[in-house]
Amino acid sequence: MPKEITPIQNKTLTQWQHITLLSYDHGEFRHLAEIAEEQEFNKQLNQCGDGLLRFIIAEFSTKEDCATIDDAIHRMIMARSQINEVLVQLQSASQASVRANSQDS
């Protein structure tokens, strides 16, 4: 069940950035959505230790021309596709390694 959407405290966040902060990693970073001051928000985001979250927030920025929710959805679809490409290659390399190791035995 979706969590209740809280009002946006940081007026520099887009709606989709706000939704991301509330929902990403089961709400682990929802506290960032409550930071009203932009400089403090950026500091806390940069120190959060989660590069994927920082990537998503950056991709959803109006500075990156992410102007609509449809833009945000499209960006997530593209990122998922690119991540899946890497995953397929890693799985293939892993299977090749297992086969090579079993032939060495």
Residue ranges per structural domain of the chain: 15-104
Cα–Cα–Cα angle for 37, 43, 48, nearest 5°? 120
Give the global pTM.
Answer: 0.80
Q: What is the pLDDT of residues 12-71, one digit of tens each?
A: 899 999 999 999 999 999 999 999 899 999 999 999 999 999 999 999 998 999 999 999
CB 52 within 8 A of CB 82: no
Q: Both tokens of residue 69? A: 């929710």
One-letter amino acid identity for 90?
L
What token pair was written down for 7? 């009002």
pLDDT, average across residues 62-86:
95
Q: Tell me if 39 sits within 8 A of 51, measured CB to CB.
A: no
pLDDT of residue 1: 44
Which pLDDT value is given to residue 49?
A: 95
- Which two tokens mark 79? 């990122």
| Count of C-beta atoms within a 10 Å radius of residue 3 | 11
